[in-house]
Structure 1
Amino acid sequence: MTLLVVDRLTKRFGGVAAARDVSFTLAAGEMLAIIGPNGAGKSTTFNMVGGQLKPDSGSVTLAGRPITGLPARAIWRAGVGRTFQVAQAFVSMSVAENVQMALVSRHGRSRSLFTDTRRLYRDEALELLGEVGLRAEADRPVAELAYGDVKRVELAVALASRPKLLLMDEPTAGMAPRERGGLMALTARVARSQGIGVLYTEHDMDAVFGHADRVLVLVRGEIIASGPPEAVRADAQVRQVYLGEAGAAAALRARRKAVA
């Protein structure tokens, strides 16, 4: 079932088109990765879908409902969860309390002076923590966790809103290599079991080609390739873009070494 339809999204900053006629679809339970070199338009596209940027033209439809240009809060209410490149969590609170705060917001409960949020929705929070493998850490302060586990807390917080669509901005950024595959495998398992569409940007190619169902490649704001990971990996234009970028980086390192 098609969950997300992005149609000809365009965004300009001055005379520069950061995204130009970007179109794609995403099915429920599907993992779609957006990749591209720096300045390709990944973040711009991502933020137009999430409501952080308003497109100049084009449309975004979620489960048949137009959400184009709505504020981020309204898009969250429509069923879009999000994680960030730098994990967002209340480090002074326990793991469970972070998830409980998200549940309080979802259920519309007021945080008055007379409400002890630590007592609200604890069982539901523990269930969510079980889904991400952190139930045993429920009462630990987030500040004591390894960064990879903080990323899992953030995922549980995002799932607390029961999203139809999950946006993940560089989900493995800052994580140790051995932790990256675990987080992405967990995300894929949850997405498929709950029918959540996942749209993510990522620089780590193992996280892309090892876990995405489809890959979308942007260069200078335009899609140059889209399809299953192996087809995209073999695409001549994609290889040229990435090999060219790698070659330029190697030449720059050589020049710096020569100057030194």
Structure 2
Amino acid sequence: MTLLVVDRLTKHFGGVAAARDVSFTLAAGEMLAIIGPNGAGKSTTFNMVGGQLKPDSGTVTLAGAPIAGLPARAIWRSGVGRTFQVAQTFVSMTVAENVQMALVSRFGRSRSLLADARALYRDEALVLLGEVGMRPGADRPVSELAYGDVKRVELAVALASSPKLLLMDEPTAGMAPRERSGLMALTARVARQQGIGVLYTEHDMDAVFGHADRVLVLVRGEVIAAGAPEEIRANALVKQVYLGEAGARAALEARRKAVA
């Protein structure tokens, strides 16, 4: 089932087109990686989907509902969770309390001045922590955790909103190779079990080709290739891109001629 439809998203900063007519789809339970060299438009595209940037034109539809241009909080409420390149957690709180705070926000209990937040949704938080392998450490302060475990807690926090779509910005940044593989395998398993679409940007090619169902390649704001990992590995235009700036220019020109 198609969950996310991105159609001709475009964003300019001054005279520079950071994203130009970017289009793709994402199915429920699918992992889609966005890759490309620095300045390719990955973050711009990602942030337009997540609501941090408003597109100049184009549409984003989630489960049939248009979300392009909505505030980030409204997009979160519509079923979009997110993790960040640098993990966003409350380091002074315990692992469980971090997830409980996300659940409090989801269910609107943050407006109550009488409730003790530590007593709210603990059982639900423990279930989520069990899904990411962090239940045994539920009562440890986040400040004591290894960074790979912090990333798992952040994933549990994102899952607390019961998202249809999960956006992951450089999910393996700062992690050791073994931790990277473990986090991405965990994410893929949870996504397929719960039917969550996952859109992620990533520089680590093992995290891309080892775990993505499909890969989208951007160069200078334009899509030059999209397909299964093995197709992208063999794609001549993609190989040109990773040879450097001259290769990127040549690949983009070849793509434009092909679609003209």
TM-score normalised by the chain length of structure 1:
0.93
Cα offsets for 1:148-192 (capped at 9, x unmatched): 000000000000000000000000000111100000000000000
Q: 1:203 and 1:246, CA in 2 relative to 1: closer, same or farther beyond 3 A? A: farther
1:159 corresponds in structure 2 to 159
Q: 1:184 and 1:17, CA in 2 relative to 1: closer, same or farther beyond 3 A? A: same
Per-residue deviation at 1:247? 9.8
Asked if 1:81 corresponds to 2:93, the answer is: no
Measure the CA separation in 2 of the matches of 1:224 and 1:149: 35
1:122 corresponds in structure 2 to 122
Q: 1:127 and 1:245, CA in 2 relative to 1: closer, same or farther beyond 3 A? A: farther
Indicate conservation of the 8 Å contact 1:33/1:208, yes or no: yes
2:41 corresponds in structure 1 to 41
Asked if 1:66 corresponds to 2:66, the answer is: yes
Query: Which amino acid in structure 2 is aligned with residue 21 of structure 1?
Result: D
Measure the CA separation in 1 of the matches of 2:230 and 2:244: 20
Runs of 4+ in structure 1 over 3 Å off: 245-248
The count of corresponding residues between Structure 1 and Structure 2 is 248
Measure the CA separation in 1 of the matches of 2:242 and 2:22: 20
Per-residue deviation at 1:245? 5.9
Asked if 1:139 corresponds to 2:156, the answer is: no
Indicate conservation of the 8 Å contact 1:81/1:161, yes or no: yes
1:215 corresponds in structure 2 to 215
Query: Which amino acid in structure 2 is aligned with residue 48 of structure 1?
Result: M
1:204 corresponds in structure 2 to 204
Partner of 1:19, secondary structure, is: strand
Query: Which amino acid in structure 2 is aligned with residue 32 of structure 1?
Result: L
Indicate conservation of the 8 Å contact 1:11/1:19, yes or no: yes
Measure the CA separation in 2 of the matches of 1:220 and 1:106: 37
Structure 2, unpaired ranges of 5+: 249-260
Query: Which amino acid in structure 1 is aligned with residue 235 of structure 2?
Result: D
1:255 corresponds in structure 2 to none
Q: 1:240 and 1:144, CA in 2 relative to 1: closer, same or farther beyond 3 A? A: same
Instruction: Spell out the pairing of 1:89-100 with structure 2 (5 A cutoff).
Output: 89-100=89-100
Indicate conservation of the 8 Å contact 1:111/1:117, yes or no: no
Partner of 2:242, secondary structure, is: helix
Query: Which amino acid in structure 1 is aligned with residue 217 of structure 2?
Result: V
Measure the CA separation in 1 of the matches of 2:226 and 2:82: 23
2:253 corresponds in structure 1 to none
Asked if 1:232 corresponds to 2:221, the answer is: no
Partner of 1:225, secondary structure, is: strand
Cα offsets for 1:179-218 (capped at 9, x unmatched): 0000000000000000000000000000000000000000
Measure the CA separation in 2 of the matches of 1:149 and 1:85: 14
2:176 corresponds in structure 1 to 176
Per-residue deviation at 1:110? 2.7
Query: Which amino acid in structure 2 is aligned with residue 67 of structure 1?
Result: I
Per-residue deviation at 1:126? 0.1
Query: Which amino acid in structure 2 is aligned with residue 10 of structure 1?
Result: T
Cα offsets for 1:4-54 (capped at 9, x unmatched): 000000000000000000000000000000000000000000000000000
Indicate conservation of the 8 Å contact 2:225/2:238, yes or no: yes
Per-residue deviation at 1:113? 3.8
Partner of 1:37, secondary structure, is: coil
Indicate conservation of the 8 Å contact 2:240/2:247, yes or no: no
More divergent stretch after superposition (172-181 vs 113-122): 113-122
Identity %: 89
Per-residue deviation at 1:244? 2.5
Per-residue deviation at 1:246? 11
Measure the CA separation in 2 of the matches of 1:99 and 1:152: 11
2:255 corresponds in structure 1 to none
2:4 corresponds in structure 1 to 4
Partner of 1:60, secondary structure, is: strand
TM-score normalised by the chain length of structure 2:
0.93
Partner of 1:90, secondary structure, is: coil
